[in-house]
């Protein structure tokens, strides 16, 4: 997707989380992972949690400071589960992706994630242009590291697909929608049958037809469906007719 987007994990303590982050990235087309002095890496837990995204782990760069990790990036965004004393320009994950994606077409950008226990330090956050907060429940606001990487990566993917115009999927349907005149034909027919069976009083129809129109509009009937419904009405009329003929005959 973009080799210009760097995911930086600072000082992770659980190798499993590195694997989950790699998997989250790969599902969304990201591949560049940088680990700032991870406690344990490489590690079998990382590989097993990566579940097939081991190429992301194999290519991961390990460095000892955040400065080294982000040295070549023109835009650096730090993620944080909580607000800080000196607030920084803050964005939600969608705004972040809308800003990061276009810039990643020209220059390298970084998304920085913090330690499982303590997040990013104030010094680390001060190295970022923006802070991103996933709008979680304030009573329980901290996501698992891998989950946070997934949310941010997903939004980047959505921004990419939107920029390529690939989000507007054409709904495939096996029949054309009914036209206004076909619908009018159906409503006229329906009204006639409802009067014939005594459901609708022509002198006092109330709002029944309006409500039925609204019900059908919500469904957007297609041509085949209108034909089926009209078939039901025609058979109802035929059956009413034969019933009334046989009762006159009795």
Minimum distance from residue 204 beta carbon to ligand SAH (Å): 59
Minimum distance from residue 38 beta carbon to ligand SAH (Å): 13
Nearer to ligand SAH, 136 or 192 (CB): 136
Nearer to ligand SAH, 149 or 190 (CB): 149
Minimum distance from residue 165 beta carbon to ligand SAH (Å): 29
Minimum distance from residue 84 beta carbon to ligand SAH (Å): 10
Minimum distance from residue 161 beta carbon to ligand SAH (Å): 22
Task: List the x/- string, 148-187, binding to ligand SAH by CB under 6 A.
Answer: x---------------------------------------
Nearer to ligand SAH, 26 or 115 (CB): 115
Counting contacts by CB under 6 A, is residue 47 touching ligand SAH? Answer: no
Counting contacts by CB under 6 A, is residue 114 touching ligand SAH? Answer: yes
Counting contacts by CB under 6 A, is residue 141 touching ligand SAH? Answer: yes
Counting contacts by CB under 6 A, is residue 79 touching ligand SAH? Answer: yes
DSSP letters spanning the chain: --TTEEEEEES-S-HHHHHHHHHHHHHTT--EEEEES-SS-S-HHHHHHHTT-HHHHHT-EEES-HHHHHTT-SEEEEE-SS--SS---EE-HHHHHHHHHHHHTTS-EEEEE-BTTTB--HHHHTTSSEEE-----TTS-PPPHHHHHHHHHHHHHHHHHHHTT-S-PPPP-SSPBPPHHHHHHHHHHHHHHHHHTTSS-TT--TTHHHHHHHHHHHH--BHHHHHHHHHHHHHHHHHHHHHHHHHHH-
Binds ligand SAH (CB under 6 A): choice among 62, 81, 91, 162: 81
Minimum distance from residue 134 beta carbon to ligand SAH (Å): 4
Nearer to ligand SAH, 47 or 79 (CB): 79
Counting contacts by CB under 6 A, is residue 39 touching ligand SAH? Answer: no
Kindly determine how many residues on this chain lie close enough to bind ligand SAH according to the rule CB under 6 A: 19
Contacts (Cβ under 8 Å, ≥6 apart) of 23: 49, 50, 51, 52, 53, 56, 146
DSSP letters spanning 145-211: HHHHHHHHHHHHHHHHHHHTT-S-PPPP-SSPBPPHHHHHHHHHHHHHHHHHTTSS-TT--TTHHHH
Minimum distance from residue 81 beta carbon to ligand SAH (Å): 4
Site residues for ligand SAH per CB under 6 A: 79-82, 113-114, 116, 118-120, 132-134, 136, 141-143, 145, 148
């Amino acid at each position: 997707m973009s080799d210009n987007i760097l995911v930086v994990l600072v000082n992770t303590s659980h190798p499993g989380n590195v694997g989950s982050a790699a998997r989250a990235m790969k599902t969304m087309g990201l591949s560049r992972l940088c680990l700032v002095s991870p406690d344990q890496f490489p590690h079998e837990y990382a590989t097993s949690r990566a579940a097939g995204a081991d190429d992301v782990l194999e290519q991961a760069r390990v460095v000892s400071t955040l400065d080294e990790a982000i040295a070549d990036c023109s835009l650096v965004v730090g993620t944080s589960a909580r607000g800080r004393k000196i607030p920084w320009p803050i964005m939600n994950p969608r705004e972040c992706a809308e800003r990061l994606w276009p810039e990643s077409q020209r220059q390298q950008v970084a998304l920085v994630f913090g330690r499982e226990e303590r997040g990013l330090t104030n010094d680390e956050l001060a190295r970022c242009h923006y802070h991103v907060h996933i709008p979680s429940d304030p009573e329980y606001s901290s996501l698992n590291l891998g989950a946070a990487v997934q949310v941010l990566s997903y939004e980047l993917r959505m921004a990419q697909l939107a920029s390529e115009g690939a989000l507007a999927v054409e709904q495939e349907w096996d029949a054309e929608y009914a036209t206004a005149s076909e619908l009018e034909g159906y409503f006229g027919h329906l009204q006639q049958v409802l009067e014939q069976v005594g459901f609708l009083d022509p002198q006092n129809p109330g709002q029944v037809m309006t409500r039925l129109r609204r019900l059908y509009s919500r469904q957007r009937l297609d041509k085949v469906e209108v034909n089926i419904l009209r078939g039901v009405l025609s058979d109802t009329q035929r059956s009413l007719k034969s019933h009334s003929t046989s009762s006159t005959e009795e």
